Structure 1
Amino acid sequence: AIAYAKVLGNTQVNCLAGIAPRGADLGQLEMTFIENLRYAAQKLEEAGIRLVMEMINTRDIPRFFLNNTSQAQEIRGKVGHANLFLQYDIYHMQIMEGDLARTIENNLAAINHIQLADNPGRNEPGTGEINYRFLFEHLDRIGYQGWVGCEYKPATSTAEGLGWLKSHNAI
C-alpha cells in the first residue's frame, strides 16, 4: 500500500475491517484488527501517509465488523496511535446511526475524510432523504478542512449524476 500510495501521490490509505466470519470470536477479531491498525498506523506514519478506517453498514454488507462511529472511536482509542483517523461515509452512517450533523461535529477531530451518497439507493445527493445542502453548510460552519469524496451510483448517467454539483455551487 505504501509503494502504491507513493507512486500515486496519496496522502492517506483506507483500511477496511472486513466481514466477520460466522461463529468467529468477536473479541479475537477486534484484537487482531487493533494489532493490524497499530502496525499499519506506524508504518504509514513513517512514510508520511495517514491511515483511515471506514465504518460500513450491515444492511448492504452483513456482518461487516466496523459499523458505527462509537465502535470506531473505541477501537481508535485502543490502537492508541495518532496516525489513525476515521473515514466517515455519510451513506453508511445514515443507515447505521443517523444524527449525521451531530455525529460528525462530535467526532470532527478524528475524521480525516468524508464520503457521500444519498439514501436510499446510494445515488447522487438530491435523490434521497439526506439534506446535503444543510450538511455541506454544517461542515463549513464546524470547520471541516478535509476532502468530501463522492462514492455513489448515478441514478441515470454519469453526466446527469454530476448535475447536483451546480445546485451546491461546487463547480
Structure 2
Amino acid sequence: MAALPAEKTGQDQRFDVNLSILFTELPLLERPAAAAAAGFTAVELWWPWPENPTPPQADLDALKKALDDAGTQLVGLNFYAGRLPGPDRGALSVPGAESERFRANVEVATAFAASVGCGALNALYGNRVEGVDPAAQDELALENLTLAARAADRIGAVLLIETLNGPESPDYPLLSAPAGIEVVDRVNAATGLGNAKFLLDLYHLSMNGEDLGRVITDHADRTGHVQIADNPGRGAPGTGSLPLEQLLGALTKAGYDGWVGLEYKPGDRPSAESFEWLPAASRAAR
C-alpha cells in the first residue's frame, strides 16, 4: 500500500486515531501509549464501557491517567450507545430503560470530557424498535439530543450527529447526509445554541452510495468532525477504492479545518503497521 504524498496529507488535516477500532488488540489503558508510540498525539473513543453508562470513578480516573501519561489529547468521545459494532446502535431514541441509561450517561460523559479537554461528543441516534411508533422515537430522540447538546455546551463542546450505512445498520434511521443534517438543524432550533454539528463519515456515506464530493461541498460548513476508512472493507486508506486523498483535499478547499478520525480496521496485522499510508510527520497535531 503506497503512502499518500506528504505534501498532500497532514498539512491541512489534523488526524486522530479511534482507539475503539484501532489498537483493540491491547487493553484499553494501553492504547493511548500505543498510539503515541505510532506518532499520534490525538485520539478518539466510542464509549469505553459499552455495558455500563455510569462506570466507577476509578475507571474514569484510570483512563484519564492513561491519556495524560501518553501525552494524547482526547478529541472525540461517544455517549453511551450500547455495544459497538453490533446491534445496539444508539440508546437515546429507545424508550424505557435504554433512554434512561443514555440520560444517566450524559453527565458522566460530559464531566469526563471536560476533565480531559475533549471538545466533541457524539450521540448515535438509535435504531428503530419494532412495535414503537417512529414518530414517538423521533420525539424522544429530540428531547434527549437537546439534553445532550445543552450539557455539551456547558463544557464548551459540540454535539455530533452521525449517519451510519444501510447495509450494516439497516434499522438506523439516519442513512444519508441530508437525514443527519435535518437532525442537526432540529436540535439547534430546539436549543438555540448552535452547537450541534454533523459527523461526516466518508466510509458510511460511501456505503450508502452518496456523492461524497457533493456532501462535502454542501455540508462542510456544518461539519464538526470527519471520520475515514476505505471502501470496500473498512480498511486503511489504499486498501479499497475510495479517492481519500482527493476527498481530504476537497474538505480543505471547502473550509473544513477540524479533526479527521482514523476509524478503520487494521486488517490481519497489528494496528501499528496500518499507518504506512500517512507520513510520520503528519501524525502529530500542530
Q: Which residue in 2 is equivalent to 1:161? A: 274
Q: 2:163·2:176 contact (CA, 8 Å) conserved in 1?
A: yes
Aligned-pair CA distance for 1:73: 1.6
CA distance in structure 1 between the aligned counterparts of 2:218 and 2:154, rounded to whole angstroms: 29
- Is 1:83 matched up with 2:195? yes
> Is 1:9 aligned with 2:117?
yes
For normalisation by structure 2, the TM-score amounts to 0.56
CA contact (8 A) 1:68 1:97 kept: no
Q: Which residue does the alignment assign to 2:150?
A: 42
Structure 1 residue 8: deviation in Å? 2.0
Larger radius of gyration: 2
User: Is 1:55–1:93's contact at 8 Å kept on the other side of the alignment?
Assistant: yes
CA deviations 1:72-125 (Å, max 9, x no partner) are: 122222221401001111100101142111101201111010000111111001
1:108 counterpart = 2:220: yes
Q: d(CA) in 1 for partners of 2:216 and 2:246?
A: 13
Question: In 2, distance between residues paired with 1:2 and 1:143?
Answer: 28
SS at match of 1:38: helix
Offset, 1:159:
2.9
Structure 2 residue runs without a partner (length 5+)? 1-108
Percent of pairs with identical residues: 34
Q: Is residue 122–residue 152 contact of structure 1 (8 Å, CA) maintained in 2?
A: yes
In 1, Cα distance between equivalents of 2:139 and 2:277: 42
Q: Which amino acid aligns with 2:136?
A: Q
Cα distance in 1 between the residues matched to 2:146 and 2:209: 26
Separation of aligned partners in 2, 1:151 and 1:114: 10
> Given that residues 118 and 128 in structure 1 are in contact (C-alpha distance below 8 angstroms), is that contact kept between their aligned partners in structure 2?
yes
Alignment of 1:29 with 2:142, yes or no, is: no
Q: Specify the SS of the correspondent of 2:278.
A: helix
The number of equivalent residue pairs is 170
TM-score under structure 1 length normalisation: 0.91
Match of 1:74 in 2: 182
Cα distance between partner residues in 2 of 1:124 and 1:24: 38
Aligned 1:46-65 pairs, distance under 5 A: 46-65=154-173
The range that moved more, 157-166 or 105-114, is 157-166
TM-superposed deviation, 1:22: 2.1
| Counterpart code for 1:30 | D
**TM superposition shift of 1:153:** 0.4
Change (3 A) 1:14 1:61: same
Deviation at 1:169, TM superposition (A): 7.3
Please tell me whether the aligned partners of residues 128 and 173 of structure 2 are also in contact (alpha carbons under 8 angstroms).
Answer: yes
Shift of 1:155: 2.5
- Aligned-partner Cα distance in 1 for 2:244–2:256: 15
The structure showing larger relative contact order (alpha-carbon pairs under 8 Å, at least 6 residues apart) is 2
Amino acid at match of 2:272: A
Q: Would the aligned equivalents of 2:228 and 2:262 in 1 still touch at CA under 8 Å? A: yes
User: What CA distance in whole angstroms lies between the structure 1 residues aligned with 2:226 and 2:169?
Assistant: 19
How much does 1:156 deviate? 3.4
